[in-house]
Amino acid sequence: MRYITIALAKGRLAKKAMEIFEQIGIPCEEMKDEKTRKLIFTNEELGFRFFLSKPSDVPTYVEYGAADIGIVGKDTILEEGRSLYEVYDLQMGKCRMCVCGPESAREKLQHHELIRVASKYPNIAKDYFNNIKHQTVEIIKLNGSVELAPILGLCDGIVDIMETGTTLKENGLVVLDTVCDISTRVIVNKASFKLKHEEVMKVINDLSKRVNEDVD
């Protein structure tokens, strides 16, 4: 059987994605067993395979054809910069990628001074400052709790995802600029889009109809 293989970013996103797949008639009962140690989950009847992956690895699996379709955040797509098709916005997990820091950093941004920026997304930060703001920056890669960096004097500001802004406010930081809007996207392997076009497009169209029902 020729399967359609779908990579899902682990966590809340995967649970929401599986709910939508079930709603469009592509359930995967194996994934509901929280005690299972299986890595690949299959719906033999419909010809679909699902697997969970670290978000940053989903675009890699899709680019190299290990997965035909991937469900992952726009932040990960931008940061990884893989060669693939981004075909649909699922309108889930909406948030913003922002430049944040103490209010005192605003003047440095406005006057295009040399600044130091910390981020879990160094490629997004570099692209934003180099190609949009045309400002020279030193970028420091951090893997977590980036809000600590400006508080401890490691940097002038950070580039990070902002959902509610509560953490920023509680630590005396503010949003200085918006880099881009973020949400969950559907990505497709380029070869699969051609060779499995009918099957892939049916999934995309069914997802689109389901999401539009919620919007309406």
Residues in the chain: 216
Q: Domain 95-180: which topology?
A: D-Maltodextrin-Binding Protein; domain 2 (3.40.190)
Tokens representing 151? Answer: 């508080």
Binning pLDDT at 50, 70 and 90, where does residue 215 land? low
Question: Which part of the chain is CATH 3.40.190.10?
Answer: 4-93+183-215, 95-180
- The label of the residue with tokens 């003047």 reads 107
Please check the confidence at residue 32 and state whether its pLDDT lies above 80: no
**Is the pLDDT score of 186 beyond 70?**
yes
- Check residue 216 and give its pLDDT: 57
Is residue 138 scored above 80 in pLDDT?
A: yes
CB 67 within 8 A of CB 5: yes
User: For the segment 41-77, what is each residue's pLDDT rounded down to a tens digit?
Assistant: 999 999 999 999 999 999 999 999 999 999 999 999 9
Q: What band does 112 get if pLDDT is binned at 50, 70 and 90?
A: confident
pLDDT tens, position by position, 90-99: 999 999 999 9
Task: From the options 3.40.50.9100, 3.40.50.300, 1.10.645.10, 3.40.190.10, give the CATH code of 4-93+183-215.
Answer: 3.40.190.10
Q: Distance between CA 184 and CA 76 in Å, rounded?
A: 10
The neighbour count for residue 126, using CB atoms within 10 Å, is: 15
CA distance 78 to 127: 10
The answer to whether residue 187 scores a pLDDT higher than 90 is yes
The per-residue pLDDT for 28 is 81
Task: Express as a percent the part of the chain with pLDDT over 90.
Answer: 78
**Per-residue confidence band for 167, with pLDDT thresholds at 50, 70 and 90:** confident
| Confidence grade of residue 176 (pLDDT, cut at 50, 70, 90) | very high
**Cβ partners under 8 Å of residue 170, min gap 6:** none
**What's the half-sphere exposure (Cβ side, CA atoms, 13 Å) at 213?**
9
pLDDT band at 30 (very low <50, low <70, confident <90, very high): confident
- The whole-angstrom separation of Cα 49 and Cα 129 is 40
pLDDT bin (cut points 50, 70, 90) of residue 144 is confident
The mean pLDDT value of the chain amounts to 93
